[in-house]
Structure 1
């Protein structure tokens, strides 16, 4: 795969340096100690959802698969590590042949999750798995945070479409990932052409205030835009006086005008006035698009307004106040020796301060009530209870180093819509509350 498909600059040959130094120093120490090849199980999970959130959204899985596949230590990367004396020559020799040959299971992208959900499980030797920690967390934490915000906004918007337009409010590479995650969460289009190019997301965009200000009059600006883009274009009507702009827009484009965009003011009040004015001018099919620093609460407040679409930027690409999903990547089981047949022993951090974890390789299933609505997230070790066998959430993503689960983004988006619809109705409430599903643990004391 070309690195451009990953949202990387074309001169970056791999994802191997998207990592923290201590991953490599741990590797060096484990190689020297003879423990690097012990079979190990790492899991990605979060101990809690962002305050007040009812559910999380798994996003970025497809990008994780690309990153794992492109995790290679080529000559340039090895030269950098040697020059900085990050690790010794024996470790560099090991890294030169690095290819992930293990297995990855996880919740399919677009699925919802809750505290303790084993969102992703990475199995292989300690050496090959530990190197992937940082890049996996970097992708999942960012993309899942954006997708969760997008999902809340999508729920608040109902059937009205949402436009992702946050590229100018974040890092240029983050903007591409954010547009992808927003699409997973329910947005319909993006203004970011790189996202459209890399991921096939529909793109939209017409003009900004600068285009109106460029021309001698607002009428001249509207005429130029309609001449270039057709009567179905969207005209920005709040550069000067909104009422005058709407009148001019209809005079220039006729009742066939596609839409007007409002980017400032009391959006609820202005939208009602603009709708009335458009109808009086005969432009009854002209849509109203609103922007102006919207979040899910602002969108919900406009539910009764005659708005046809929303454009969201800053609040979306910053996770609407929660820019990370706080996921962690923890060793939960390891073999007693480097013998491939050695049994796995559950391990877990037991320190105080709210950072404890549960050892053992885990499965996850979602229990439904008699109406088919989810009522609990069940996480366990050992055998899966028969009544939950058909409700398991994890799927194979990578087997023996081979990627199995690449999917079209529309499939992922549809999965999220279905997963959200399967939650209790209170999941869509924007008021602060506890996770909509409790996480129940089923533990078997023996190793797994």
Structure 2
């Protein structure tokens, strides 16, 4: 099967292309911009994620024989357009916020400069990746903040599409999660993987001790034993009896997690397993994690709420044409307005490092950064080729960690409110 990403697009992208090729406007130089008009309800900041995946997808955006045959058979476009598509290679320039950067309403997250024909066909690809990954990373960052330094394991693969599971694991890791249960994410992105057993393994054996004994013999006493298949108190007793006081961890996957964690800690300590960690999972989100902050929990496993964006499954980003042949253009539809012109942005900070505002300005009229200001866009593609400014996943994790330190304390709260900093348009 083809590895091309060219058909991860909408029908109308190609019909627009066909019409533009026919009327002679296809080669007009244009600027397209990705931005979000607003943050999802209740969010104070957004996290940019998916840029690296988008750049990889642009590299693979090729209409080979298989894709051309599909388009010809379905009659999407005419033969002249098919010939143009067969030779398609993106040759334009892309600037954008690096992965791990924060964004706010109106932030010019991505600027695509190319002919109309080359740029318009990338719209759906860009939005499907950036909207998904940024939504997951934004939710994950809130969860990591609520966990206050405790270990976070992404385990939502069974609650989403198989490819979305891999992308979600990457976005969560970027946002500060420690590991993922998804092995494909480990292979593609080098993310640490983690996992031991499910309730089915305990039920397979004649009794709980037999299951624990089998797991310890296979994985060592440092493993994590799932203790809530039957009775948690008895499960913890059996776990320590089988593995000894050097047991790595116990996992609790149901019930009142705060109460059970306290009881588990007391029982483990009384059995001499003072260094055995407590892992909790089961329908956790950032609010549940925050509520457990005072409890003796050492790690969290998060699934459904993470891979669905914890109530905000899309970042609400749009891909709009903002400039044609150097002339700003803008959409004026009610509630769907856009600001014309190619833009850049900088973030102003106090001397202490706290962010004050996002300033968006015309790229043709650059603003001189102040001593504590930081320009936000970096060159990502030049002539269709990646630059040396594209960050690695590890660098993106570090970038987000540093960016969150600059957010005003009020903006890090989980409560509803205005964006953490205002956006000013010049």
Q: Shorter-chain-normalised TM-score: which range?
A: over 0.9
1:42-441 aligned within 5 A: 42-335=32-325, 344-352=326-334, 354-381=335-362, 382-388=364-370, 391-404=374-387, 405-441=389-425
- Cα distance in 2 for partners of 1:48, 1:388 equals 27
Quote the Cα distance in structure 2 between the aligned partners of 1:385 and 1:57: 24
| SS of structure 1 residue aligned to 2:369 | helix
Match of 1:26 among 16, 22, 25: 16
Provide Cα deviations, 1:120-140, integer angstroms capped at 9, x if missing partner: 000010000000000000000
Whole-Å Cα distance in 2 between the matches of residues 247 and 102 of structure 1? Answer: 64
Name the residue aligned to 1:3: none
> Is this contact kept in 1: 2:221–2:244, CA < 8 A?
yes
Moved over 4 A (4+): none
TM-score (norm. length: structure 1): 0.93
8 Å contact kept, 2:361–2:367: no
Contact 2:369 2:375 in 1 (8 A): no
Q: CA deviation at 1:408?
A: 2.5
Contact 1:104 1:121 in 2 (8 A): yes
3-state SS of the aligned residue for 1:18?
coil
1:366/1:388 contact within 8 Å kept: no
Which has the higher mean CA deviation after the structures are superposed, 150-159 or 418-427? 418-427
Deviation at 1:414, TM superposition (A): 1.1
Q: Mark the CA change 1:116 to 1:388 in structure 2 (over 3 Å): closer, same or farther.
A: farther
> How far apart are residue 388 of structure 1 and its match?
4.5
Secondary structure of 1:303's counterpart equals coil
Q: Is the 8 A contact 2:346 2:369 kept in 1?
A: no
Whether the aligned pair in 2 keeps the contact of 1:64 and 1:139 (CA below 8 Å) is yes
What's the offset of the Cα at 1:370? 3.1
Q: Distance in 1 between matches of 2:284 and 2:243?
A: 28
Cα separation, 2, equivalents of 1:438 and 1:86: 44
For structure 2, the 5+ residue unaligned runs are: none
Separation in 2, partners of 1:22, 1:229: 53
TM-score between both structures, scaled by the size of structure 2: 0.98
Tell me, in whole angstroms, the C-alpha distance in 1 between the residues paired with 2:61 and 2:403.
31
C-alpha deviations, 1:52-74, integer Å up to 9, x for none? 10000000011000000100000
Write out per-residue CA displacement over residues 121-166 of structure 1, whole angstroms, 9 at most, x where no aligned residue: 0001000000000000000000000000000000000110100000
